[in-house]
Structure 1
Amino acid sequence: MSPTTIIEHLVLFRVRDSTDPSKIDTMVSSHRLLSSLDQIPHLAACHIHRRRSPAADFTHFLHIRFFS
């Protein structure tokens, strides 16, 4: 049996303050639906609660691990 390769993918989003909160919830929920795919052993999608650097003004992230 050959070893399985895991690919990590991280996406950072910046959502405008004026964005309707229901649209943000829909975006995050849609990302979470990807976890139903067999090739995705890990998925996290959520709001970034604490930002340490004002230069990194991202508000949300999506972190996925894929089987190759």
Structure 2
Amino acid sequence: MTRNNGDIQDGLASEIRRQFGSEAIKRFARSMPTFRAETDIPDHLRDLLDELEGVETSPAGDRRSR
């Protein structure tokens, strides 16, 4: 039995999210200047980033509309 293309894409997307969420990747990214977070960003941008983080960590954030 073969899997349809949607199942393969969903599985791949899930695997990529899992790997990018690993502690090893997070440590590696933090060590690179390009991915280092700025601490002195304007308040309105900090608020937008906090809102984005909230959406990403919510259970509904795992489902992407297509």
TM-score under structure 1 length normalisation: 0.30
The structure richer in strand per residue is 1
Question: Normalized per residue, which structure has more helix?
Answer: 2
TM-score scaled by length of structure 2: 0.31
Larger radius of gyration: 2
